[in-house]
Structure 1
């Protein structure tokens, strides 16, 4: 179905305008290819561990590397030519007296203002940076090496940063007071991944080396709300004695935009989709996704397309899956070594990925692809059918009136 035909159907009311938006977003994100005209200036002398794109202007990319440096890249093209390199406009180098001493494992923009960003490092320090001066406005010393940290994008009643460290306790630090708010105790080993809910400012998910994935309400004094179980409570072997989300370290977490589902990946080479409200495994089969990295893996979930997609780093590739059916749509190959992180520039339908080859790559939609919107609307219908099927399976009552 050509664009003009689709627009005509929107005009006469037979197709909703949002359907065209979703179909075009889906087409773009399913046709990503390595950009031939744009690249990102290589500024790290070692692996790129974490990247983040601010959501105010979607203009600046923040990156942290194993060499201890932090860089800010300008993504918009003001050169007047199609060929463009995203230059480093700010950098905290190893020579700076404010720099981290060891590898920077996690970076994130302050969600409401590009004047602040945060970084966590193996030197056990979490720093809140003033973007204009490139000096720390606040420094928090953690009880262990920092693997990951997260700021809530919807918080209005708190300014807490959740920090995952080599310690089994999750630490919450308050930017307003400059001190530790409280700790969350429930894991038995190092916490590798952490993520705030995008819709509820008090809900927090954490993944650990103890193979467990926990959901917390930070207002509760009773511990975690839920421990996700990959078997949904069914004992699969005589030795089954606890609720584990993976048979290995839970190394990556990402909520869907509506906060209803949570995606996790682990060193057992599995990706799982969890129903947050029910606390159950949706049993979507993504197949084998190789992940033996000891680092936190940063995945990306789309917001505007149907079906929703998840981008998962796997060895030297980025795998593109349907979040609903687990179908592998695409494999993005371009890095020369392990891929550690990826981030979506949502309004532009672009993907950025960083890896051990010190590169940050740009993946853009293929503009030469022949457009057939019927294919994408058909894919969306399959997604809706699969969603309905999985929802019904999750909500069925597994009980019987028969007495033993």
Structure 2
């Protein structure tokens, strides 16, 4: 790190290298925080989905298996070493406007924290007004809504893609207030959807039919491409159907530059795809336990070298080299199945939620601020104790008393 600082000062190295090195160092040192936690709300049940707003990068939105919704403030205004992220909004499942069953996906409106969206197994997608905590609009579907997503970069449309129990993807237009388009191509339930981070008209979807489809919503000709794990070389002559995994595809995420797509299947495999060619990059990540029948929310870092995949692995989180496939480390802290995680790109922090009803905080352990705090606190207490002992045994006699 000192060499990067010296190089930046002398102008011999690109300042970007220092930033990338520091981001990488912080990500690789992530561990369960000793001094920060998130206020627990037992009425939420298991935590199924987490999302951090992209405007202030301050508010953490959570959706639970009991249909409840909570917003936590991540900002530490007091500057205290030991800090709890307190809830600032809570919509319990007893609220008349709340979801009646499990919430599967939550997301902030990308352009304003005044709105957020939720969907779940009660077959509804709700658009919430953050100020009043009342739905501004509600959309009902024929089946369970496993996943929904709004484009983080869209300027020419305001569509919400929804993956449902049916084989079709419905696009809901916030401006029109209705479902304006249906995408047909899958043969079973659509478990996960996500818009490209590079092109606002490109959408990816994963299904129980083992397939991953890329869509260009501007065309009516069907899907843009179907991803093939064998890159066109079928395992057998009889196998002519393109599949991305040998099991349900219940997780996917674009890289920050949109050039690659990571998919997760119940064959316990992660796969990396080139979004331009649709080719499988054939990166071996090993076995990552996944037998879920619902969407799994994993997260990707950005700006590091190498970038990292954070993926739920039973009761743990596994960190993997995005392009190399090597396992970097395992994050242990949950007591039950981990369902979701979200990476804070500005601070290089990770938040995870699971069936143990906890939201855990994973922070870079690049310094020992908390350990130093404990040592200082301990020394202070010892000093006070010593002073009290001295005071108690001090002889108050003086020569003046003679």
Same fold? TM cut 0.5: yes
How much has 1:80 moved relative to structure 2? 4.2
CA distance in structure 2 between the aligned counterparts of 1:24 and 1:9, rounded to whole angstroms? 14
Runs of 4 or more above 4 Å deviation = none
Q: 1:41 aligns with which of 39, 42, 46?
A: 39
What aligned pairs does 1:138-217 form with structure 2 within 5 A after superposition?
138-217=137-216
Deviation at residue 286 of structure 1 after TM alignment = 0.5
1:94 correspondence with 2:93: yes
Which segments of 5 or more consecutive residues in structure 2 lack a partner in the other structure?
369-402
Q: Tell me what 1:266 maps to.
A: 265
Match of residue 11, structure 2, among 5, 10, 13: 13
Residue of structure 2 in register with 1:312 after alignment: 311
Which residue of 2 is the match for residue 382 of structure 1? Answer: none
Query: Alignment length, in residue pairs?
Result: 367
Could you give the per-residue CA deviations for residues 315-355 of structure 1, whole angstroms, max 9, x where no partner exists? Answer: 01111111111011111011001111000111111000000
In the TM superposition, residue 233 of structure 1 has moved relative to its aligned partner by: 0.5
For 2:69 and 2:111, the matched residues in 1 are separated by 20
Which residue pairs with 1:385 in the alignment?
A: none
For residues 278 and 305 of structure 2, what CA distance do their matches in structure 1 show? 24
Aligned to 1:24: 22
Q: 1: CA distance between counterparts of 2:211 and 2:79?
A: 50
Matches within 5 A, 1:320-339: 320-339=319-338
> SS at 1:281's partner residue?
coil
Cα separation, 2, equivalents of 1:245 and 1:279: 10
Equivalence for 1:344: 343
Aligned-pair distance for 1:44?
A: 3.8
**CA–CA distance in 2 between the matches of 1:237 and 1:260?**
30
Q: Deviations over 1:155-199 (max 9, x none)?
A: 111111000011100000111111111100000000001000012
CA contact (8 A) 1:44 1:69 kept: no
Q: CA deviation at 1:236?
A: 1.4
| Closer, same or farther: CA 163–44 of 1 in aligned 2, 3 Å | farther
- Distance of 2:158 and 2:4 partners within structure 1: 45
CA deviation digits over 1:16-57, x for unaligned, max 9? Answer: 110000000000001101011110111143110000000111
- CA shift, 1:13, in A, is 2.5
Q: Secondary structure at the match of 1:21?
A: helix
2:4 and 2:17 in contact (8 A); partners too: no
Deviation at 1:12, TM superposition (A): 1.9
Aligned with 2:76: secondary structure? coil
Query: Given that residues 295 and 340 in structure 1 are in contact (C-alpha distance below 8 angstroms), is that contact kept between their aligned partners in structure 2?
Result: no
Higher gyration radius (CA): 2
With normalisation by structure 1, the TM-score equals 0.89
Distance 1:364 1:349 in 2: 7
Please give the TM-score of this superposition, normalised by the length of structure 2: 0.90
SS at match of 1:200: coil
Distance across 1 between alignment mates of 2:42 and 2:54? 24
Q: Is the 8 Å Cα contact of residues 123 and 144 (structure 2) preserved in structure 1?
A: yes
- The question of 1:358 aligning with 2:357 is answered yes
Q: Counterparts of 1:68 and 1:318 in 2: how far apart (Å)?
A: 24
